[in-house]
A = this chain, B = another copy of it.
Amino acid sequence: MSVTYLEAIRAAQEKALADDPRVFIYGQDVGSFGGAFKATKNLAAEFPGRVMDAPLSEDAIVGLAVGAAIEGARPIVEMQFADFSTVGFNQIVNQAATLYYRTDIPCPIVVRLPSGGTLGAGPFHSQSMEAVYAHYPGLVVMTPATVEDAYSMMLEAVSIDDPVIFCEHKLLYYHLKADKLPDTAQPVGKARIARAGRDATVVTYSAMLHESLQAAEDLVEEGWQIEVIDLRTVKPLDTDTILASVARTGRLLVVGEAWPWGGVNAEVISRVATEGFGLLDAAPMRLNARDTPVPYHPDLWAAHRPTASVIAARLRQLLTQ
């Protein structure tokens, strides 16, 4: 048996529904249809009345979740694509994110954002919005890169008392597989050393983990050992693990799929520069997508985001500077 990233998300939601009567799922087409990507397949039948099709109203969907959370429920809401969360934006950043600070009442909602680029998806079905949400106080932003994390982090997302923006990468949905679902998990909030190395540190997350691991692999025959860190959550950001790695390697490349201005990469570099300046043997580097909307044509898309070969090339620069 093997389980995909998408199946892991489905299985975690199933377990959450089974374990906790306060959990329900609300979103467009999540009911009998099972969701645009089938992340809620069969759940409506398994849990009658608890997995419901929503009207085409992202603002109201998130608003409903906040109200339900006030009353003690633990809603999971699905945005059909991360890109559409812009129309539920206000409820996320001003309603959900401020509730605890203002009223002392936690807001245990999970907003699932099918994120990131895929072939031919174009400007409005490809976005990576983790940095936008992480900028706002009051939100936890998860960016699982593995099947195991997709599962265990979804379970933790449902169980913690705060609003979680769950950025699941669509490119990993069907292709990324594991032998089985994990029994144990690293605590959320801790980054993971996905590959140990000594010559340079790559900090990355979500789908870019796999491009980065490939780049690290490609550099082995050139004699380089690259350490790759998977952030897992971008807020909180596990600065300690990053600094410890940079302390060993002295070199840092941060890789992300989001746009270049600001974002996770800027935050990581900024933390290392301010808190670990002395650890750096060379200028840190970063790789982002380009500063345009995500293009539709496969050739443009391939040139818009970092890929393993670009990462490897940049690492060569970093290693020899």
Interface residue ranges, A against B (CB under 8 Å): 59, 83, 86-87, 89-90, 93-94, 97-98, 101-102, 123-124, 131-132, 134-138, 235, 237, 258-259, 261-267, 269-270, 272-275, 277-278, 280, 282-286, 290-293
Q: Which of B263, B274, B285, B293 lies in contact with A285, CB distance below 8 A?
A: B274
Q: Is the CB of B94 within 8 A of A262?
A: no
Q: Which of B94, B273, B277 contacts A270 (CB 8 A)?
A: B273
Contacts of A90 in B (CB 8 A): 86-87, 89
A267 adjacent to B277 (CB under 8 Å): no
Contact (A138, B273) CB under 8 Å given A86-B93, A90-B86: no
Query: Given A90-B87, A270-B270, A273-B269: A98 and B293 within 8 A (CB)?
Result: yes
In whole angstroms, what is the CA distance A292 to B162 when docked?
14
Q: How far is the CA of A83 from the CA of B94 in the complex (A)?
A: 9
Among candidates B262, B275, B285, residue contacting A267 with C-beta atoms closer than 8 Å: B262
Q: What separation, in Å, do the CA atoms of A282 and B276 have in the docked complex?
A: 11
Query: Are A283's CB and B278's CB within 8 A?
Result: yes
Closest beta carbon of chain B to A75's beta carbon, Å: 21
Expressed in whole angstroms, the Cα–Cα distance for A123 and B134 within the complex equals: 17
Min distance, Cβ A147 to any Cβ of chain B, angstroms: 27
A135 near B124 with CB under 8 A, answer no
A194 to chain B, nearest CB (A): 23
Known contacts: A94-B124, A134-B262, A266-B270. The answer to whether A283 contacts B292 by CB under 8 A is: no
Most buried by B among A87, A136, A259: A136
> Are B135 and A263 within 8 A (Cβ)?
yes
Q: Which residues of B contact A290 (CB under 8 A)?
A: 137
CA distance A94 to B275 in the complex (A): 36
